[in-house]
Structure 1
């Protein structure tokens, strides 16, 4: 077999073929894994809803809606025997130390926080990443954002910030307050 001459057109053809094969492999991989990743994300949302609202017997992820106040925020109604027991709200803050923080916050019918689950963050391990610890998340339980805005003590609120991670703590408080405002604003 004759060796391919190293000319500009030949190099272009070889590089184009490599790019086509690589792009095709990526497309096939994406096509095969997209449904799996979607299902994992759905299961993660169901698990987060179950962590933050009282016991329910409906499937909140099938009845969810987006907030009229902020269409980025998804609201999951939780009911038991047809009666509302609360809502889980998937909220976020882009004012974190290292990117954004996405969380699920639960509210009962009276508007009190029932639970908090951090879904995604990029905070510094050992500092801002401590927002995922139960000891910090439990500081929000029982707060009523309608009566007093959720904020850290440094901002006039009642939530003690994590030492050396005030920005991360502030971002979580902001996301909880944003979730409440979205819930108050209703459906889109």
Structure 2
């Protein structure tokens, strides 16, 4: 019995060792392609919201306890624009990630929605080219918009950003992420101290946003 138990233990140990080695080998093989794919996606996202540039430098900020990365793009040594990788947790289907491009003067160049799980045919339209949300801000300085408490807002909330039809929650989430990107852009471009978009308190204060309850379907 003792001999059998030892043999079984040795066999199990051997199987575990081989399996672990196999997993490690697969990770080594796939890690580089995954990293290259992620880098390619990042470059594509930057190219989609910025004019031509030679290189970028990045700075990571924390706003509403969420990471926001600002990429300063330069061409010929001069600033070509700023791209901000922003996010919100207020989407109808969860988190929404996007890349927002700003000109050196502060106009919104373009917005690329990188990740969203909104309602198909409703909230997902935020990722369409020339959707009403983007059309409400593209080519404009956000400080010239109709602001509510210093922030962008959809028309239903007193602002002038047109919402997606039957997708008010998704539209509000989109605007929330844009506001966070705008705050991050201003921080890097002009030195304005970043504030928590949801509360207006400084980021250093460690304020957190309380996601609103989301009951029922998308609605106007």
Category of TM-score, reference length = shorter chain: 0.7 to 0.9
Give structure 1 regions of 4+ aligned residues with deviation exceeding 3 angstroms.
12-27, 68-71
Question: Does residue 1:111 correspond to 2:94, yes or no?
Answer: no
Partner of 2:140: 143
Partner of 2:186: 184
Question: Does residue 1:59 correspond to 2:55, yes or no?
Answer: yes
Task: Give the 5 Å matches for 1:22-41.
Answer: 22-41=19-38
Aligned-pair distance for 1:167? 1.3
RMSD over aligned CA atoms reads: 2.7
Q: Structure 2 length as normaliser, TM-score?
A: 0.69
C-alpha change, 1:67 and 1:177, in structure 2 (3 Å) is same
Aligned-pair distance for 1:54? 2.2
State the alpha-carbon separation in 2 of the partners of residues 133 and 23 from structure 1.
44
Q: Any gaps of 5 or more consecutive residues in structure 1?
A: none
Partner of 2:125: 130
Tell me if the contact between 2:92 and 2:169 (Cα under 8 Å) persists in the aligned partners: yes
3-state SS of paired residue (1:67):
strand
C-alpha change, 1:68 and 1:94, in structure 2 (3 Å) is closer
Partner of 1:94: 89
Tell me if the contact between 1:112 and 1:144 (Cα under 8 Å) persists in the aligned partners: yes
State the alpha-carbon separation in 1 of the partners of residues 155 and 17 from structure 2.
56
Partner of 1:120: 115
State the alpha-carbon separation in 1 of the partners of residues 93 and 51 from structure 2.
32
State the alpha-carbon separation in 2 of the partners of residues 123 and 32 from structure 1.
34
Count of aligned pairs between the two proteins: 178
Question: Does residue 1:164 correspond to 2:166, yes or no?
Answer: yes
Aligned-pair distance for 1:172? 1.2
Partner of 1:155: 157
Question: Does residue 1:75 correspond to 2:73, yes or no?
Answer: no
Aligned partner of 1:46 among 43, 53, 56 = 43
